C-alpha cells in the first residue's frame, strides 16, 4: 500500500468530503495529515480521547490551544468532525479554550502579554523573552456518557 | 500536575508504559471521584504520540552517534541544492544519509542518489509535513552504526513542519534572497524553533531587492540565538562556515550526547 494520494485543488467543502470518504476506507490511517497539519492534529485528538474514554461515548472535549501554537482553532474544528466520524467522538461537542500568550522579559523580568514571538518587553524594550504561556496544544478533559 | 492523584500529567511515558498496572488507569480519573462524575481529566499534549516517537528517535540517534538535522524552508529555497553540494564537498570526511520528504515524486531522492549517498524518499501524499513516525520507519533502511550525519529534508513549507519534532538535534531553516526578507516575522514559529538559518542564493543579491542585514535583524528579533550563515549553494560561497559548524556539531555530540 502506498501512502500517495492525488493532490486535489479543492475548496473547504470538498476537503471535508475527501476527508469523510477517506475515513470510510480501511486505509484512512495512511492518509492522516491531508493538506493541513490541523488534520493530523484532529486525528491525534480523537485517538487521545478514545484511549481515555475506555469504550464510552464522548459528549464533550475540552482543548487548550495557545495563540502561539501555530494551530488554527477553526481548522481544527473543521477537521475534527471528519476525524470523529465512526468513533466514540462522533457528534461530540468541541470546546476550544484559547490560551493567551505571556512572556517574561529576559532583562527586567517583567511579565507581559504577547501577540507574537518577537514582541519586545513593553517596559524596557528587550527582545528574546521567555515564553511562559501560549504554546499549549492539549486535551484538558472529556465528558463521557 | 494532575490534581486528583498527584501524578505528573506531562509524563506520558508514565501513563502509557505501565500496561496492566493499576496506574495505567490514568485516563479514568473519575474513579477517584466516584461514578457520578462523567468528566475525565486527560491533560495530554495533543502531539504527545509524535513527541514520544521523536524522543525515541533522538535516543536511537544519540546511541548510534549520528548527528541529525531537519532542514525546513519554503518550496524553492534551495534545500536540495544545499544538500547536493554539502554531500559532494564533504564526501571524504563524513558518512551521510538523507531522508527526502515531498508530497509527490522521487525527483529529489534521485538527485541525492546521484551523489552516491544512501537516500530514502518519503512521499507524504497531500500531507504537509514529515512526522516522527515516518522518520522512525525511514531510518530502518540505513545502517546507523556506520553513519556520521543524517540530513532530513522536510516538505517545503514554513508552517506545519514547525509543530512536528522528528527527533533531530537541530532544525536548520533555509531562506533564499529571492523571497521576502520579512519571512522570519511572517513565520515566527519556524524561525523560533530553528537553531541555524542558511541565507541562500547570496550570489543573486546584486539582482534582487533584498536587504540581507534587515532580514538577519528580523530573524534575530524572533530568535536572538539563531546562527546565520550566508551561502550560495550554486557558487559555493560561504559554504565553508556551514561545513565547519556541521563538523563541530557532529564531533561535539559524539560520546556526550550533547549535540
CB-nearest to A44 from B46, B129, B218 is B46
pLDDT digits (tens, 9 = 90+) for A84-97: 999 999 999 999 99
Which residues of chain A have a CB within 8 Å of the CB of B128? Answer: 33, 35-37
Q: What is the CATH number of the domain that holds A38?
A: 3.30.2320.80
> B162 with B38, same domain?
no
Which residues of chain A have a CB within 8 Å of the CB of B39? Answer: 141-143
Phi and psi dihedrals of B175, rounded to 5? -130, 135
**CA-angle at B27, arms to B25 and B29, nearest 5°:** 80
**Does the pLDDT of residue B189 top 90, yes or no?**
yes
Q: Is residue A93 part of a domain?
A: yes
Asked if A66 contacts A135 with a C-beta cutoff of 8 angstroms, the reply is yes
Q: Is residue A7 part of a domain?
A: no
**Does the pLDDT of residue B222 top 50, yes or no?**
yes
pLDDT digits (tens, 9 = 90+) for B199-215: 999 999 999 999 999 99
Burial tier of B132 (Cβ tally within 10 Å: 0-12, 13-18, 19+): buried
A78 is in which domain, residue-wise?
12-144
For A120: left if phi > 0, alpha if psi spans -120 to 50, otherwise beta; the answer is beta
Query: Rounded distance, CA B127 to CA B102, Å?
Result: 9
Per the structure, how many domains does chain A have?
1
Q: Does B185 touch chain A (CB under 8 A)?
A: yes
Mean pLDDT, chain B, rounded, equals 87
Q: Is residue A63 part of a domain?
A: yes
Chain B contact probe: residue of A9, A28, A40 with most B CBs at under 10 A: A40
> B39 with B54, same domain?
no
**Does the pLDDT of residue A4 top 50, yes or no?**
no
Q: Is residue B1 part of a domain?
A: no
> B28 with B58, same domain?
no
Q: Is residue A67 part of a domain?
A: yes
> B89 with B147, same domain?
yes
What was the pLDDT predicted at A7? 32
Q: Are A49 and B46 within 8 A, CB to CB? A: no
The residue that leads in pLDDT, B186 or A8, is: B186
Q: Is residue A29 part of a domain?
A: yes
Which residues of chain B have a CB within 8 Å of the CB of A49? Answer: 42
pLDDT digits (tens, 9 = 90+) for B99-138: 999 999 999 999 999 999 999 999 998 789 999 999 999 9
Q: How many CB atoms lie within 10 A of CB B90?
A: 17
User: Which segments of B10-130 are extended strands (E)?
Assistant: 39-45, 67-73, 96-102, 119-123
**Does the pLDDT of residue A8 top 60, yes or no?**
no
Q: Is residue B2 part of a domain?
A: no
For A40: left if phi > 0, alpha if psi spans -120 to 50, otherwise beta; the answer is alpha
- What is the rounded average pLDDT of the residues B182-192? 96
Asked if A43 contacts A28 with a C-beta cutoff of 8 angstroms, the reply is no
What was the pLDDT predicted at A67? 95
What was the pLDDT predicted at B256? 67
Closest CA to B113 of B139, B89, B80: B80
The residue that leads in pLDDT, A23 or A52, is: A52
CB-nearest to A48 from B42, B126, B189 is B42
> B40 with B99, same domain?
no
> B117 with B25, same domain?
no
Q: Are A52 and B28 within 8 A, CB to CB? A: yes
Q: Are B189 and A117 within 8 A, CB to CB? A: yes
B205-211 CB contacts, 8 Å cutoff, 24+ apart: B205/B177, B208/B177, B208/B178, B210/B177, B210/B178, B210/B179, B210/B181, B211/B181
For the CA atoms of B89, B92, B96, B102, what is the dihedral angle to 10 degrees?
A: 30
Q: Is residue A3 part of a domain?
A: no
Q: Quote the ipTM score.
A: 0.72
Q: Is A24 helix (H, G, I), strand (E, B) or coil?
A: helix
Per the structure, how many domains does chain B have?
2
Q: Does B211 touch chain A (CB under 8 A)?
A: no
Q: Is residue A134 part of a domain?
A: yes
> B119 with B239, same domain?
yes
Q: Is residue B3 part of a domain?
A: no
Burial tier of B256 (Cβ tally within 10 Å: 0-12, 13-18, 19+): exposed
B34 is in which domain, residue-wise?
12-44
> B191 with B229, same domain?
yes
Q: Is residue A81 part of a domain?
A: yes
> B92 with B213, same domain?
yes
Q: Is residue B76 part of a domain?
A: yes
Q: Is residue B146 part of a domain?
A: yes
Q: Are A48 and B40 within 8 A, CB to CB? A: no
Q: Are A118 and B185 within 8 A, CB to CB? A: yes
- What is the rounded average pLDDT of the residues A114-136? 93
Q: At what angle do helices B239-253 and B79-89 cross, to 10 degrees?
A: 70
pTM of whole model > 0.90? no
For B134: left if phi > 0, alpha if psi spans -120 to 50, otherwise beta; the answer is alpha
> B123 with B213, same domain?
yes
What was the pLDDT predicted at A87? 96
Confidence bin at A17 (pLDDT 50/70/90): very low
Which residues of chain B have a CB within 8 Å of the CB of A44? Answer: 46-50
> B123 with B205, same domain?
yes
Q: Is residue B176 part of a domain?
A: yes
> B38 with B138, same domain?
no
Amino acid at each position: 500500500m502506498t501512502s500517495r494520494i492525488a493532490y486535489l485543488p479543492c475548496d473547504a467543502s470538498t476537503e471535508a468530503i475527501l476527508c469523510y470518504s477517506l475515513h470510510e476506507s480501511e486505509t484512512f490511517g495512511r492518509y492522516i495529515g491531508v493538506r493541513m497539519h490541523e488534520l493530523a492534529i484532529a486525528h491525534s485528538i480523537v485517538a487521545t480521547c478514545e484511549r481515555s474514554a475506555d469504550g464510552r461515548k464522548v459528549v464533550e472535549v475540552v482543548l487548550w490551544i495557545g495563540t502561539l501554537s501555530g494551530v488554527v482553532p477553526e481548522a481544527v474544528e473543521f477537521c475534527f468532525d471528519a476525524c470523529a466520524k465512526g468513533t466514540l467522538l462522533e457528534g461530540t461537542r468541541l470546546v476550544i479554550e484559547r490560551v493567551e500568550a505571556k512572556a517574561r522579559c529576559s532583562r527586567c523580568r517583567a511579565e507581559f502579554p504577547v501577540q507574537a514571538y518577537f514582541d519586545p518587553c513593553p517596559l524596557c524594550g528587550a527582545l528574546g523573552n521567555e515564553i511562559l504561556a501560549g504554546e499549549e496544544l492539549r486535551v484538558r478533559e472529556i465528558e463521557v456518557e | 500536575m494532575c490534581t486528583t492523584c498527584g501524578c505528573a500529567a506531562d509524563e506520558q511515558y508514565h501513563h502509557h508504559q505501565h500496561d496492566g498496572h493499576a496506574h495505567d488507569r490514568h485516563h479514568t480519573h473519575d474513579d477517584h471521584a466516584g461514578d457520578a462524575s462523567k468528566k475525565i481529566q486527560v491533560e495530554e499534549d495533543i502531539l504527545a504520540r509524535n513527541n514520544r516517537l521523536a524522543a525515541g528517535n533522538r535516543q536511537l540517534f544519540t546511541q548510534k552517534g549520528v548527528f541529525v538535522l531537519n532542514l525546513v524552508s519554503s518550496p524553492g529555497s534551495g534545500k536540495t541544492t544545499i544538500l547536493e553540494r554539502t554531500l559532494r564537498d564533504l564526501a571524504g570526511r563524513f558518512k551521510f544519509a538523507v531522508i527526502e520528504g515531498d508530497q509527490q515524486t522521487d525527483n529529489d531522492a534521485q538527485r541525492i542518489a546521484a551523489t552516491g549517498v544512501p537516500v530514502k524518499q518519503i512521499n507524504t501524499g497531500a500531507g504537509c509535513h514529515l512526522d516522527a513516525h515516518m522518520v522512525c520507519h525511514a531510518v530502518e533502511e540505513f545502517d546507523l552504526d556506520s553513519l556520521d550525519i543524517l540530513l532530513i529534508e522536510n516538505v517545503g513549507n514554513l508552517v506545519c513542519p514547525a509543530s512536528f519534532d522528528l527527533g533531530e538535534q537541530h532544525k536548520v531553516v533555509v531562506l533564499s534572497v529571492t523571497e521576502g526578507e520579512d519571512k522570519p516575522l511572517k513565520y515566527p514559529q519556524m524561525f523560533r524553533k530553528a537553531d541555524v538559518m542558511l541565507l541562500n542564493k547570496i550570489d543573486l543579491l546584486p539582482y534582487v531587492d533584498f536587504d540581507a542585514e534587515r532580514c538577519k535583524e528580523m530573524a534575530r528579533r524572533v530568535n536572538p540565538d539563531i546562527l546565520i550563515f550566508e551561502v550560495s549553494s550554486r557558487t559555493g560561497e560561504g559554504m565553508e562556515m556551514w561545513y565547519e559548524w556541521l563538523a563541530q556539531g557532529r564531533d561535539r555530540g559524539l560520546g556526550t550526547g550533547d549535540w
